[in-house]
Structure 1
Amino acid sequence: MSTTGGRVLPLRVPLLPGESLDSWLEALARRNGISLRSMLAFLGLRTPSYTRRLYTTLTAGTLRDLEERAGLRPGQLDEAVLAPDFPFGPMQAPGSRYCPRCLAEREGRWLLTWWLPWTFACTTHHLLLHDGCPACDALPRLKTPTRSHDFPAGICTTRASRGADPCGADLTSATSTPLPAGHPLLDTQQWLHGLSPDQAATVSSDLLALAAWLARCLTEADLDSTPPEFLSAWRERRTGPVTSPTGRPRPTSAAVAGILAHHARPLLDTSDIAAIDAIRRLRHRSGPISRMMPAGMFFENWTTLSPGLHGRFLRVADPVLGAMDRVRLRSCTTRARFPRRQGPQPAARARHIPQLLWPTWTLRLIPRQGIKESLFRAVMSVLLLLPGQTTRNARKVTDQLNPHLPTYTTRTLQVLLGNEHDQALPALCYLADYLDEHGSPIDYQRRRRLVPAEPISREEWTELCFATGTHPGGKPGAPISRHVHAQRHLHQLLTGSDLNNPQQPLAWRSPADRSRHLTFTLTLTLAQRQALRDYAAGILERLDIDEPVTWEPPEDACTGLTLPGPRFTDVDLTDVRRLVVTEGRRITEAADALNTTPTHIRLALEHIDHQPPPAGPNSPLAAWRLRQRARDLITREFLEREYVTGRKTLTVIAAETDLPRHVVVEQAEAIGITIYRSPRPLAIDAAWLREQYLTRKRSTSDIAHEAGTEDETIRRRLQRLGIPLRAPGVHSRTIMTATLDRTVPRDIRAAVEGTLHGWLRLHRFEIAMAFPTLDTAAGYLQVHQSALVTQFQRLERDIGHPLFERGAFGKPHRPTSRGKALLRALNKPHVRKLMHQALAPTTLTPMPDTNTLARATTDVTTRRTPGPLTPFDDIPVERIRIRAETLTLLRDLLDHHDAEFYAAQLSTRTGLRQSSLSPRLRQLEQAGWLTSRLEDDTSWLSRAPEGRGPGRRRLYYALTPDGRRAATHELQHRASGRRKRQNAGTQPATNH
């Protein structure tokens, strides 16, 4: 409660050094001759039931006001109170301990440190503090005294009942156990007094958490130098009840607190090495270390340990922890910590980590054998997310960076530990800490979102290669070319993406594809690498990303560790060039020869220039250089001077510049110069040309002949004048340009005008409508039915309406209303006259007579059904109907009669679709021509791709001996029938 605006106290009492606020307030009340309750009311404060609340609950504003009213300097009362969240613990007595001599010397004024749970001795008088009144054994200063001004200071103010007088025992006369100078307990108390307020709160919390566990671990041997009074108190604590009648933990006596604090000091105050050794000795007393939390320590105590003490316990448990927990808890490093909920989140750290570990750190951490480099890089990157995470579900964390990574993280850690590369795990933790503290200049998450899947086009890649004197490789449309590998290289350079992920657009399609990509990266010249880096920088600039192209954490991020892999500078590039480039050895052989890893050799090869093979005179590179020379020589000013003004031909210019003529033409077209591919244009009167072409309808060839020039010259001149050209060739014929009189019905004009055979289609339509079907009409007209279908479709398209309804079995086709109108129009005399004039006599076909139409009707209404097949005479298989596809199948089966086959294999050999092959194979099997069996387990499992199941089993077929005889019979039968037809001179029908 605030006291702002109150009066200044007339009688004041100074605050003694180290005095508690409750003691000063009591002295102030006694000085003014009023009770403590009245003094608190005068100051505007409530009277708490328990004295402890006086020095733990007052706000800073209240303290400042008290200082002003009592004449104290600002901030002086801060030394007389404790923070509200100071850890007292359940075993701490709610009253105050005390030293009788100090209490006598200070005239009954109480020290603040006597309230602290781990103050157990007086370092001034070398005495053990008292826990209670020597007369009533009550806890001193438990309840707030009410009439303290009526009694002398330094007495026990505990009342037996409400309204009764206080105990009144003189606390200053109590006898205490002396401790010799230099006693370990005094040293421990002196150490506790020397802590800052923040340190005191941390140590107090740790002591409270360790108390129960230490009590279990300490033995009688640990208490040899302890005074008998301390030892008896310790034994009473070990054997007596641990809780009060109300169920609360019993307060810890000063002697027990001193013993616990003295034996806990090595765990808190010494160096890490000494503290870890002490923790290890104590933990081994309850059996071998087999888990993270010490045996005998409660979980609620374990979770309240300070981060530093947690780290020491974790480092002791490190040998028994799993590899994942060692990384997550950093127990293998000096920065071991128990994860906190407010720790670094995986998503925040994932923004700074590529999906593949940085190349230099891959070199420093990868073992020489036991794991693939690409898998190692991907796994180590996701492991960087684990340090400091609260969840033990590693996949839940790692999926935030690479959700498609196979579950090989545990295997990778086993390989690292199996190769005795313990320093690789601390390196992971230190790298994660570096990223949390310093971050990274690259936001890989943003790049993975913004960088296009195909960062460089084929044209840009070709130009880049030519500019660096190298061949771009591959052909347009090829599935895997150097251009595709260049896209992958750029994408990985910018985003660090894992191309093992099949969801990536540029993912590797097979192990061989990955091998080819690695070969591509090793064959890049230094000029190409620099050009690709410059291109990548341009991509970032276009995306408005102000970041370096690549970055790696510095080597001092893991200072003090002996990493398993070599440094890049540990190998001589001259030796690598000699072994790999000059002698042509494999990378693994070069690594063995130089006593290093293949990763080291591959990284070194990226810093060695590979000279490209010389370009031949007809190579694309030579052609590019030729065109580059043309771009330098053939400029617009040059062509304006030599070609336009000087009227030189391009052939002459090509000879003078020593360039091929087609290259000169290409450059001139690119510049935009008008190229004359014939003699220079003649002066032709535009009005005369319009009259000849538009009015008189003369052809361009006639006009060109009269003008003494070429047909193409006239056509170009017409185009420059904006005159639309008539279509060349057949479209210029009279029949195509002529128009019919308006007396001719509209549908006939639509079918005839602007077409070549419009009258013939109308003539055939008239005849076809007399027959019941197109098939019978085609036989009469001696054309194929498909030809009639095509012609009538064109007729309907020209007219814009259906002309007849198609027939079906037992139902003849018939004209629509529009078709009937067309037939009536064709019967008009002037229309028929026009038709006879347009068609040659040999093209006209007379209308069918009555007998012909009757036979056609009979043929349509009578359906022929195939009779049953005649069985084979001496072949015990069922006979089937043979079609064209079946003949192709039987020929292939006879060519491979000794081998088994499956449907996909047969489809590849014959070109037949598998959807039509499968039912025919089943038909042959049912007829006894084939036998079948399912693929055996060995073959089935051997076809399984890496990381996936084998899929469906194949069904193998084999030709039976009887089936072979039946197939031979059918093929010979078809061959003899074909020879008979050829000898009879049969000819196919003519298609008009």
Structure 2
Amino acid sequence: MADSATPTGRPLSRSLEPLPGESLGGYLLRLAHRLHLSPIRLARRIGVVTPATTRLACRLLLDLESDGFARMTRLSNGEALSLALVPWADRYPPIARALRRSVSGSREDWLFNDFPRYCPQCLAGDGSPDQQGYGGPWKKLWHLPIVFACPDHRVFLRHGCPRPHQLRRTITDLISQTADSTLHPAKCRLPAVDRPRSKGRTGPSCGVRLDQLERDGEPRPDLTTLSAQQRILEFLGPGHTAEDAVAYFTDLRVLAAFLCASWPLGHELVPPGSREAVDAHVHTLGAGQRQNLDQPPRDSVATAGILTAATRLREALNLRDLLDQHTQAVRNSRPSRIPWTRVFDRHESTCSALVRQAAAPAVRAYRRTGPRGTRLPDRTGGYRVEHIPAFLEERWYQEHLTPLQFDGAAKSVRRLAAVRLVQQASGRAQGDAADFLGINPAGGQFTATNTLLQWLKNGQDAFTTALHNLAEELDRATDPTNYQRRREVLRDWSLPSETWNEIITRLPPVPGPVRPNLDDRVRQEASAFVWAYVTCGEPLYAPRHIEAAQPPDTRQSWQQRRANTWFQLSRPHALNHYAALRGLLCQHGDALIEKIESGTSMPIR
């Protein structure tokens, strides 16, 4: 057959149906063997690679052009797509991240195994006519580092070849020795042990049958390990939502790193048959320095031990206490050098709420949250960050914080309390929590005022206790307000001119010859007032789209006058005109709240 750069020629005259769970690599091996072609020549013929390509990389599992492949191999598009990893992209985060990157993007350690894993009995086939001649499937599951055992045959997956091979690199090819057309799909395609180096990719292959190997004394997974593997595989299927699957796999990754950081503490969670392999893996992560924690083991037995322990840790009723206990095991290291906190920070956004809340105190043990190194109170669970307003609700403040007598620092206290509550729920650093609330517009390190910091020197314990009590109240709330949704909806909002005109026409007449100013400057400050009323924020941080459209000198003039307008609108005993305007603006704010809660669209400005 003539080579073809793209699948524009005629479909193959003979093809094969994919086996259940088969990988693209396994399918190409079986089909090439049937057609008496080398895998690389077949791949060129059907347009999987260009004519100049000599390597079939694992990246093909992400980049397969399924329409053309299906046409050339006489498969349906669904059958072709099932050979790739893309159908799991919404469930397994490393696949989604890899799809967003270019071919030359940074490596994702939890995407592919360094060496191929396999189950010999699966490769031997089930004896059916389809599998007698070409063997059973090389499964696409085996590419993922989270798969370490075969539940059907109750064995650990093997990796590599039983023969020793002198390799300069790990094997990340989908198929090795792509030019060899003589090998059965179940034979080892690594270069022969005695192959001359000058032969390159065209030299002889090892040729050991991987489906006919039996080893005396080989370790076998116990029931706990097999149960953990089955649980992991279930999250790749339709029995769980994609969101839950993403959280589950991220949790395992984070907890695996945590276990390696505190090893050998936690060894009782590892099945006895895997403890030695886990110990060897932890040692290889950095000669005991544990600076490369976010890496899966190469060995399937070690993988089984770590992921089984991670599943047991995740399901523990006292997860928070266990994480605290493990944290103490490594607290003799410098906080900035604890690599597990970096792993958690990198993946926190996709962790489950369970792990985020349990890990927050452990992570905070290594984070400074202010210029004086104050520590955050422990998270008690329940409420979420979107339930926190940027300016603490007046009732919350009065009931929990006013008794502490902050000596005129009320605004600063309400801001800092909101930031700390976000930190408790998410584990964010202080500046990141302030950014989330929108009260750190200049970036940098958010901090309290000097007055409040001075008070906190002596009142930190009382402040921490008050926040703890408030957090417990928020945990018990049955229908909490989603302030983050309100902030997002009103991000680009200001009072439309038509709405503003309707409001001011309802104002009572002002006696005397002097008429109050109701121009666009006041409309801007009225917009800020309504925004603060709806979001429970401060006018200082409201969007200022009307002002932004003005010339520079006008903006400067408006800025100099805004404080007086805010004062007139908010003071308890306002003049009749401002009291009436405030009432109308609050009515409009209540209408906006109702629309936001119901999901009704509304004019922006």
- TM-score surpassing 0.5? yes
Residue 972 of structure 1 corresponds to which residue in structure 2? Answer: none
Residue 217 of structure 1 corresponds to which residue in structure 2? Answer: 262
How far off is 1:13 after superposition? Answer: 0.5
1:96 corresponds, among 91, 109, 116, to 116
The 3-state SS of whatever aligns with 1:173 is coil
Q: Does structure 1 retain, via aligned residues, the 8 Å contact 2:161–2:188?
A: yes
Q: Does structure 2 retain, via aligned residues, the 8 Å contact 1:3–1:66?
A: no
For 2:491 and 2:24, the matched residues in 1 are separated by: 54
1:266 aligns with 2:312: yes
The C-alpha deviation readout for 1:351-378, integer Å capped at 9, x for no partner, is x867xx6544444444434246x74356
Q: 1:88 to 1:258 in 2, by over 3 A?
A: farther
1:283 corresponds, among 327, 332, 350, to 327
Q: Does structure 2 retain, via aligned residues, the 8 Å contact 1:385–1:398?
A: no
The C-alpha deviation readout for 1:821-853, integer Å capped at 9, x for no partner, is xxxxxxxxxxxxxxxxxxxxxxxxxxxxxxxxx
Residue 45 of structure 2 corresponds to which residue in structure 1? Answer: 42
1:109 aligns with 2:137: yes
Residue 434 of structure 1 corresponds to which residue in structure 2? Answer: 482
How many residues are paired up?
480
How far off is 1:179 after superposition? Answer: 6.3
2:19 corresponds, among 12, 16, 29, to 16
Amino acid at match of 1:158: L
Q: Does structure 1 retain, via aligned residues, the 8 Å contact 2:489–2:596?
A: no
The C-alpha deviation readout for 1:325-359, integer Å capped at 9, x for no partner, is 9999995544678xxxxxx9xxxx99x867xx654
Q: Does structure 1 retain, via aligned residues, the 8 Å contact 2:431–2:440?
A: no
2:213 corresponds, among 159, 174, 177, to 174
How far off is 1:493 after superposition? Answer: 9.6
For 2:236 and 2:418, the matched residues in 1 are separated by: 36
1:52 aligns with 2:58: yes
Amino acid at match of 1:114: W
1:150 aligns with 2:182: yes
Amino acid at match of 1:94: D
How far off is 1:436 after superposition? Answer: 1.0
Q: How does 1:646-665 map to 2 (within 5 A)?
A: none
- The alignment's TM-score, normalised by the length of structure 2, stands at 0.61
2:564 corresponds, among 494, 505, 511, to 505
How far off is 1:190 after superposition? Answer: 1.1
The 3-state SS of whatever aligns with 2:25 is helix
Q: Does structure 2 retain, via aligned residues, the 8 Å contact 1:21–1:55?
A: yes
Q: 1:283 to 1:554 in 2, by over 3 A?
A: farther
How far off is 1:156 after superposition? Answer: 1.0
Q: Does structure 2 retain, via aligned residues, the 8 Å contact 1:158–1:166?
A: yes
Q: 1:507 to 1:122 in 2, by over 3 A?
A: closer
Q: 1:215 to 1:175 in 2, by over 3 A?
A: farther
Q: Does structure 2 retain, via aligned residues, the 8 Å contact 1:383–1:409?
A: no
The C-alpha deviation readout for 1:438-459, integer Å capped at 9, x for no partner, is 4499899958x9999xx99973
For 1:495 and 1:238, the matched residues in 2 are separated by: 52
Q: Does structure 2 retain, via aligned residues, the 8 Å contact 1:36–1:146?
A: yes
How far off is 1:5 after superposition? Answer: 3.5
How far off is 1:112 after superposition? Answer: 0.9
The C-alpha deviation readout for 1:619-674, integer Å capped at 9, x for no partner, is xxxxxxxxxxxxxxxxxxxxxxxxxxxxxxxxxxxxxxxxxxxxxxxxxxxxxxxx
The C-alpha deviation readout for 1:491-544, integer Å capped at 9, x for no partner, is 989977799x998337999xxxx9xx86x58xxxxxx99x98655455x59xxx
Residue 459 of structure 1 corresponds to which residue in structure 2? Answer: 511
2:66 corresponds, among 47, 63, 66, to 63
For structure 1, which segment, 139-148 or 67-76, has the greater mean C-alpha deviation from structure 2 after superposition? 139-148
Q: Does structure 2 retain, via aligned residues, the 8 Å contact 1:289–1:320?
A: no
Q: 1:494 to 1:132 in 2, by over 3 A?
A: closer
Residue 297 of structure 1 corresponds to which residue in structure 2? Answer: 340
Amino acid at match of 1:171: L
Q: 1:553 to 1:332 in 2, by over 3 A?
A: farther
Q: What are the ranges of 5 or more consecutive residues in structure 2 without an aligned counterpart?
A: 87-94, 99-106, 126-130, 514-527, 541-559, 598-605
1:423 corresponds, among 469, 472, 483, to 469
2:77 corresponds, among 63, 74, 78, to 74
Q: What is the root-mean-square deviation in Å for CA atoms of aligned residues?
A: 5.6
Larger relative contact order (C-alpha < 8 A, sep ≥ 6)?
A: 2
Amino acid at match of 1:129: L
The 3-state SS of whatever aligns with 1:56 is helix
Q: How does 1:348-427 map to 2 (within 5 A)?
A: 359-371=394-406, 375-376=409-410, 379-381=413-415, 384=418, 387=422, 392=431, 398=439, 407-410=450-453, 411=455, 414=460, 417=463, 420-424=466-470
The C-alpha deviation readout for 1:703-737, integer Å capped at 9, x for no partner, is xxxxxxxxxxxxxxxxxxxxxxxxxxxxxxxxxxx
- The alignment's TM-score, normalised by the length of structure 1, stands at 0.40
How far off is 1:171 after superposition? Answer: 1.0
Identity among equivalent pairs (%): 16
Q: 1:439 to 1:327 in 2, by over 3 A?
A: farther
How far off is 1:151 after superposition? Answer: 2.6
Q: What are the ranges of 5 or more consecutive residues in structure 1 without an aligned counterpart?
A: 338-343, 462-490, 522-527, 556-992
Residue 546 of structure 2 corresponds to which residue in structure 1? Answer: none
How far off is 1:323 after superposition? Answer: 7.1
Q: How does 1:482-521 map to 2 (within 5 A)?
A: 504-505=563-564
Q: How does 1:702-713 map to 2 (within 5 A)?
A: none
The C-alpha deviation readout for 1:56-102, integer Å capped at 9, x for no partner, is 332xxx21222233232322232221245458518964331111111
Amino acid at match of 1:56: L
